[in-house]
Structure 1
Amino acid sequence: MTPPQASGYVHATALVLGEFGLLLRGPSGAGKSALSIQLVADWRARGAFAALVGDDRVALEARHGRLIARPHPSIRGMIEARGLGLMRVAFEPACVLRAVVDLLASGESPKRYPDADEATTRLSGVTLPRMFENAANVGAAARIAAYIQYVVTN
């Protein structure tokens, strides 16, 4: 049996879209929470399951070659909406992460053709596919949805 390998808490937002666990990382103010709210709303509008796992502080734990995300106990079920403050939302207690989206700082754009070595990231000994996005760019949620479909089918 593979022992769990905890990496502690990371500054990120985790959500589950359908059966797909996604981790959004980025600097403060990059739009992690707002993009998560948009992604969950988009998936639910299509009739698919979608929920927050954790916002701002997410625990990561490697188990049996998978990376599990859990919310921080003191803020589980809460997400920050700028201009509104903390909002209570439905949440899942954990998810298996399938990919990472690294959000860029304001004014930055993803490379048109990313380098192959940037296509993955390693967290707690688990390698996951990764994409870069700017949450402020028009179509960010749609590109992430397309990326999820790409990861699922490849």
Structure 2
Amino acid sequence: MTKKHNTHGTGILVAHHGILLTGVSGAGKSLLALDLLEQAQLRGEDAFLISDDRVDLSVDEDGLVMEPPATIEGMIELRGRGIIKLPYAKSAHVHLVVEFVDTMERLLEESELTTQIHGIWVPRCPVPRRGLVDGLHQRFLVHAALRSLGAIT
């Protein structure tokens, strides 16, 4: 495993698929992560927080790995409430990067659906930040990306 790189982002594990949410502070990463975790649990799927706000990224023989920094394990910020505790996993491979963006594109080029992080190509799902679209639209975009990967039906 390579050196760990502490990165701004939120990581979750939904039905054995690691999702890394990236974007500027206040874009809605934590809220979308909470929504995706809640929806997965309602479907009866395993769903765990990896880390909120900061994620340690490294590379192993199977790809990009995310882990929680020890000081924030199991904690996520719910604005308006504060820090809450959730069940968490110690690590997960990243299968999808959800990147918060400032525009709403109608038709994306195939080249826009992957990104490279620490030398590893990972499927990318651009999601307009909250305010440009609502949370339901954001969730539909993530689910469409997961379906394209064969992660959900």
TM-score w.r.t. the length of structure 1 is 0.90
> Do structure 1's residue 124 and structure 2's residue 121 form an aligned pair?
no
Between stretches 116-125 and 59-68, larger displacement belongs to: 116-125
Which digits, 9 at most, give the CA deviation of each residue in 1:91-139, with x for residues without a partner?
00100110101012xxx33311123332211111110010110242232
**Conservation of the 8 A alpha-carbon contact between 2:125 and 2:141:** no
Between stretches 59-68 and 133-142, larger displacement belongs to: 133-142
Q: What is the CA distance between 1:147 and its match in structure 2?
A: 1.2
Equivalent-residue separation in structure 2 for 1:57 and 1:102 (angstroms): 15
SS at match of 2:107: coil
Corresponding residue to 2:147 among 142, 145, 149 = 149
**Conservation of the 8 A alpha-carbon contact between 1:65 and 1:126:** no
State, as a whole percentage, how many aligned pairs show the same letter. Answer: 29
Corresponding residue to 1:34 among 31, 35, 44 = 31
**Residue ranges of structure 2 left out of the alignment (5+ in a row):** none
Q: What is the CA distance between 1:6 and its match in structure 2?
A: 2.7
Corresponding residue to 1:94 among 84, 91, 94 = 91
Correspondence for 2:128: 134
Equivalent-residue separation in structure 2 for 1:82 and 1:69 (angstroms): 24
SS at match of 1:102: strand
**Residue ranges of structure 1 left out of the alignment (5+ in a row):** none
Aligned residues between the structures: 147
Q: What is the CA distance between 1:7 and its match in structure 2?
A: 4.9
Equivalent-residue separation in structure 2 for 1:10 and 1:78 (angstroms): 16
Letter in 2 for 1:41: E
